């Protein structure tokens, strides 16, 4: 399909209201709400049954870096004010909050939801947090505990990653993925998840390196994979639903598909870390172990200053790879494509694993096949750069439906393939559409209205 044919798609809805750049978006509460956060620290919860705001508040004194839901009554936000906050915001709580959008600067100070937890973290990396349940057999949607991974709090340019536990708010581990001398640069993107009863960590770095680490049953961490596909900083990464691979995008024009090696967690592959002793805490079922670093690999540092405002990028530099080590670290990506479009971030794979989308600094949302990595659609609606995309979680009954409509838009836009709601009331139809639609939302750099 030609680019001119792809451009005819129109957004299902355009949600205008943010005064500054939309940096983060997330569908929560079984897709009934879309949460969006901007460069001024404002968060808006949009009701997708009526396409109107239900709650608006200023969550941070700096740009929002990440948003996610936790169950049906909690929202997690991360801001450039070095704070990660867990808010309680149920349907009943929404009734007491403002619906005045950030564009309305004459509105008095808006009330905030109830704060459950605050973590003091390092947000100098422009890196959003990652989260998962503390146990492999517990769904995050119903878990009352949480692991949160963020760049190391004390050393901005170190390769370490901190893992915190909620609700205790305690730091459970500092995972060393190499030494500072390796010059990976800052941690730029993270993912934390369980696979085959082992805890895995994915990390993307400023020098373009992607790393997969796995926690062994004994408590130590092994590096299973590392590869430098990008010549510029990694801006985003996402895990495939089957947990067999993950994708990275960066400030260059590269999108890379990396494997997640399958290894026996009882046998050390690369003994680069050893377990450290710790005092008894009484939470041995959820606590991770401290680890000690041992240097592996090499890298080339890439400055991060002005990353979001870079106007000319070197896309001619070929990808740099690391040779496979005799120690067993895998260094063979599954596929690398040069999209010819520098600055794609906000990469997200849809929950059925069929497609993924990126937000481009050139103002375009691009949709790709997750299997072939071929470009399927270019969604044009925004006037300036886009920073965030997010897919709704697809219900099992909807995963076989083809995508007949894809679109993008100004501010926050939502495109959808809508399931037929059947013989229901108007309200029930709206709720069913919101929960079952194949929503794709995108946030742009600035809302001009």
The tens digit of pLDDT for each residue in 66-122 reads 999 999 899 999 999 999 999 999 999 999 999 999 998 888 889 999 999 999 998
Q: Is the peptide bond before 265 cis (omega within 30 degrees of 0)?
A: no
Find out whether 249 and 344 touch, Cβ atoms under 8 Å: yes
Tokens encoding 327: 């120690």
The pLDDT value recorded for residue 350 is 95
Opening angle at CA 277, ends 326 and 133, nearest 5: 80
> 415: number of CA atoms within 13 Å, CB side?
26
Tokens encoding 136: 């492999």
What are the tens digits of pLDDT across the range 174-225? 888 876 667 788 899 999 999 988 999 999 999 999 999 998 877 778 899 9
The mean of the pLDDT values for the chain is 79
Separation of alpha carbons 245 and 237, rounded Å: 11
The pLDDT value recorded for residue 11 is 78
pLDDT tier at 270, thresholds 50, 70, 90: very low
Find out whether 29 and 74 touch, Cβ atoms under 8 Å: no
What is the layout of strands, in order, in the sheet containing 22-28?
22-28, 33-38, 42-47, 52-58
Separation of alpha carbons 218 and 70, rounded Å: 29
Percentage of residues in the chain with pLDDT exceeding 70?
A: 71
Q: What's the per-residue H, E or C state across 277-300? A: CCCCCCCCCCCCCCEECCCCCCCC
Residue found by looking up tokens 């598909």 in the block: 257
Residue found by looking up tokens 């619906």 in the block: 99
Q: If DSSP codes are grouped into helix, strand and coil, which group holds residue 93? A: helix
The pLDDT value recorded for residue 291 is 38
Strand partners, 115: 87
For residue 240, how many other CB atoms are within 10 A of its CB? 15
Integer CA distances (angstroms), 449 to 16, 143, 440, 446, in order: 7, 40, 22, 9
Between 313 and 364, the higher pLDDT residue = 364
The DSSP secondary-structure symbol of 180 reads G
**What's the pTM?**
0.79
- Alpha-carbon dihedral of residues 134, 136, 141, 147, nearest 10 degrees? 20
Find out whether 184 and 205 touch, Cβ atoms under 8 Å: yes
Lowest mean pLDDT among 154-163, 194-203, 373-382: 154-163
The pLDDT value recorded for residue 73 is 93
User: Which secondary-structure segment (H or E) carries 412?
Assistant: strand 412-415
Closest alpha carbon to 313 in 376, 251, 226, 249: 251
Could you tell me the domains of the chain? 122-342 (2.40.128.630)
Alpha-helical (H) ranges within 131-212 are none
Q: Is the pLDDT of residue 298 over 90?
A: no
Lowest mean pLDDT among 27-31, 117-121, 415-419: 415-419
Between 247 and 310, the higher pLDDT residue = 247
Between 126 and 265, the higher pLDDT residue = 126
Tokens encoding 320: 């740099």
Mean pLDDT, to the nearest integer, of 381-400?
A: 76
**59 phi/psi in degrees, rounded to 5:** -85, -30
């Amino acid at each position: 399909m030609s680019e001119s044919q792809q451009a005819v798609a129109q957004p299902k809805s355009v949600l205008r209201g943010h005064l500054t750049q939309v940096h983060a978006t997330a569908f929560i509460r079984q897709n009934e709400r879309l949460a969006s956060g901007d460069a001024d620290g404002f968060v808006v919860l949009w009701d997708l049954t009526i396409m109107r705001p239900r709650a608006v508040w200023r969550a941070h004194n700096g740009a929002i870096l990440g948003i996610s839901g936790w169950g049906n009554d909690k929202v997690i936000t991360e801001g450039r004010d070095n704070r990660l906050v867990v808010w309680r915001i149920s349907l009943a709580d929404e009734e007491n909050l403002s619906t005045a959008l950030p564009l309305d600067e004459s509105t008095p100070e808006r009330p905030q939801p109830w704060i459950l937890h605050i973590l003091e973290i390092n947000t100098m990396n422009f890196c959003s947090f990652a989260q998962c349940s503390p146990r492999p057999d517990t769904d995050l949607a119903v878990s009352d505990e949480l692991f949160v991974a963020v760049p190391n709090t004390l050393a901005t340019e170190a390769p370490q990653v901190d893992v915190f536990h909620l609700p205790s708010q305690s730091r459970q581990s500092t995972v060393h993925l190499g030494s500072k001398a390796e010059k990976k640069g800052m941690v730029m993107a993270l993912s934390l998840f369980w696979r085959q009863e082992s805890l895995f960590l994915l990390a993307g770095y400023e020098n373009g390196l992607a790393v997969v680490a796995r926690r062994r049953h004994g408590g130590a961490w092994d590096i299973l994979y590392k590869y430098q596909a990008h010549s510029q900083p990694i801006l985003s990464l996402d895990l495939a639903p089957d947990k067999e691979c993950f994708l990275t995008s960066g400030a260059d024009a590269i999108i890379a598909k990396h494997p997640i090696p399958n290894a026996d967690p009882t046998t050390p592959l690369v003994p680069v870390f050893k377990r450290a002793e710790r005092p008894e805490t009484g939470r041995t079922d959820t606590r991770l172990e401290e680890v000690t670093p041992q240097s592996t690999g090499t890298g080339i540092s890439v400055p991060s200053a002005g990353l979001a405002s870079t106007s000319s990028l070197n896309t001619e530099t070929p990808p740099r790879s690391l040779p496979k080590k005799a120690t067993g670290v895998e260094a063979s990506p599954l596929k690398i494509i040069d999209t010819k479009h520098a600055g794609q971030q906000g990469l997200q794979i849809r929950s059925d694993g069929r497609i993924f989308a990126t937000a481009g600094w050139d103002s375009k949302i691009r949709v790709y096949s997750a299997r072939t990595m071929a470009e399927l659609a270019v969604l044009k609606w925004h006037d300036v750069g886009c920073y965030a995309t997010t897919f709704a979680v697809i219900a099992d009954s909807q995963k076989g439906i083809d995508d007949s409509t894809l679109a993008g838009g100004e501010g926050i836009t939502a495109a959808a393939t809508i399931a037929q709601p059947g013989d229901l009331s108007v309200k029930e139809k709206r709720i069913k559409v919101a929960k079952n639609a194949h929503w794709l939302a995108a946030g742009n750099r600035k809302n001009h209205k």
